[in-house]
Chain A
Amino acid sequence: MYEFDWSSIPGSLPLLAKGMGVSLEITFTAIVVGIVWGTLLAMMRLSSVKPLAWFAAGYVNVFRAIPLVMVLLWFFLIVPNLLESLFGIPRGSDMRLGSAIAGFALFESAYYSEIIRAGIQSVPKGQMAAAKALGMSYGQAMRLVVLPQAFRNMVPLLLTQAIILFQDTSLVYVSALADFFGTAAKIGDRDGRLVEMLLFAGAVYFVLCFAVSQLVRYYQKKLKTA
């Protein structure tokens, strides 16, 4: 019978917290970039300028057809080389966090853009017409009238995608980056307590993700009654 021994956890909390910091940093940066770039992609896709629409559609389809791990690995392998040849940044510097963030952000943008596109299309056409009829430019009508309503409808989906993104950050283990999951695994290995460490890490992921998904449900209920 396996004897559980949790004693190595309290001492490792500072390191684990640091790992959590890395996971959250990747998550938040990817969310922010993903929403901004995703919004632009969505607007391109809905634009009547065909090349823009094609570009956005191609971007989304490519990223949605490739496994995330591969994108991360490519970024891990390619971005440092690229930066070196473009900006002369020496190879030695640690680019793992930067390239992981870039990989996530560009990958997630494809998913966010689809959510945002659906959100924009969920706003009745008459709203754009009414905004234009008041003399607003297309940009003003989008910014002041259509997007605020689109985002209000999209918050649950965006948050749900954020949960998925947060869980997916554990994939950065391919670049040996010390995120929460990676740190937990490393400490577990070191102390010979891998099972306990991974159970603990799983519990932390569960609590955080469950809390956010409850928030989503609460918000959805509020949306429905509003």
Chain B
Amino acid sequence: MITMNKVSKHYGSFQVLADCTTHVNKGEVVVVCGPSGSGKSTLIKCVNGLEPFQSGEITVNGVSVGDPQTNLSKLRAHVGMVFQNFELFPHMSIAQNLTIAQIKVLGRDKAEAEVKGMQLLDRVGLRAQALKYPGQLSGGQQQRVAIARALAMDPICMLFDEPTSALDPEMINEVLDVMTELAQEGMTMMCVTHEMGFAKRVAHRVVFMDHGRIVEDDHKDAFFANPSSERAQQFLAKILQH
């Protein structure tokens, strides 16, 4: 579904990504982790072309992201993305947040989009909030709406960039529960997260990054049992203490 081959990116002389190679198969859940500044967000944003990269190749469902001929908008319409800061549109109601792209991008008619939006709100347990505005919801609720908004586009895969790290601890689980359910239904997912419990339960593989490089790319059991690099060992030791 997603393949990355020797992807590199730099800002001036600063190398953000160096020869990153990995893949996500259909129905697979891959967790990306690593220390702050290691390039995780950049990597995941390259997948849907939100960040350009200078060399290497990324394909999503066979379409090359770096190819100038590729219609990126069309590609992104079917690749869901969830951000750390939710990024709901604050000037629109929850219902409008869920329908705007369905209508303007997919060309669905309003009634159809509304039905779809309500179904997905229901699914994340927020049907009652449809007429409110994002500012009136808690962080956890906003993030669930953001997931519903992405799902409304019928994505072929989902990208998550630290979806729970801006949340108060008591709200983390409500978001992880929605993600777990998605994974169990067979959604292809690439998740940047430090929630190792989630990774252990749900992920198939774990990718560990450090200084713009993919240092480990392993089956999750192997990763947690004995990470091969020292850097990953230290990282795990630190994060699992909490």
Listed in ascending order, the chain A residues whose CB lies under 8 Å from chain B are 124, 126-127, 129-137, 140, 144-145, 148-149, 152, 226
Contact = CB atoms under 8 A, between A and B. Distances in A.
A46 B233 CA distance: 44
A149 B89 CA distance: 9
B89 A145 contact: yes
B101 interface: yes
B87 A149 contact: no
Interface of B: 45, 48, 50, 73-74, 76-81, 83, 85, 87-91, 100-101, 104-106, 135, 149-150, 153
A55 B73 CA distance: 29
B83 A126 contact: yes
Nearest to A140: B104
The main secondary structure of chain A at its interface with chain B is helix
A129 B73 contact: no
Give 6 nearest A-B pairs by CB, closest first. Answer: A135-B77, A130-B87, A134-B101, A133-B81, A135-B105, A126-B87
Nearest to A125: B87
A169 to B, nearest CB: 33
Given A129-B50, A148-B91, A135 B153 contact: yes
B73 A137 contact: yes
11 contacts: A126-B83, A129-B45, A130-B89, A131-B101, A133-B76, A134-B76, A145-B89, A148-B91, A149-B89, A149-B90, A152-B91
Contact of B104 (A129, A130, A136): A136
A226 B135 contact: yes
Contacts of B100: 134, 144
Contacts of A127: 87, 89
Contact of A134 (B85, B90, B149): B149
Contacts of B76: 132-135
A126 B105 CA distance: 19
Interface centre among A124, A129, A152 (most CB of B within 10 A): A129
A136 B105 contact: yes
A134 B77 contact: yes
B73 A136 contact: yes
A133 B50 contact: yes
Interface centre among B76, B79, B88, B149 (most CB of A within 10 A): B76
Contacts of A140: 104-105
Contacts of B90: 149
Contacts of A134: 76-77, 100-101, 105, 149-150, 153
Nearest to A149: B91
Contacts of B101: 131, 134-136
A133 to B, nearest CB: 4
Nearest to B77: A135
A129 B77 contact: no
Contacts of B78: 135
Given A137-B73, A140-B104, 11 more contacts: A124-B87, A126-B85, A127-B89, A129-B45, A129-B83, A130-B83, A132-B76, A133-B150, A134-B101, A134-B150, A152-B91
Nearest to B84: A126
A124 to B, nearest CB: 8
B87 to A, nearest CB: 4
Contact of B73 (A124, A135, A145, A149): A135
Contacts of A144: 100, 104
Contacts of B89: 127, 130-131, 145, 149
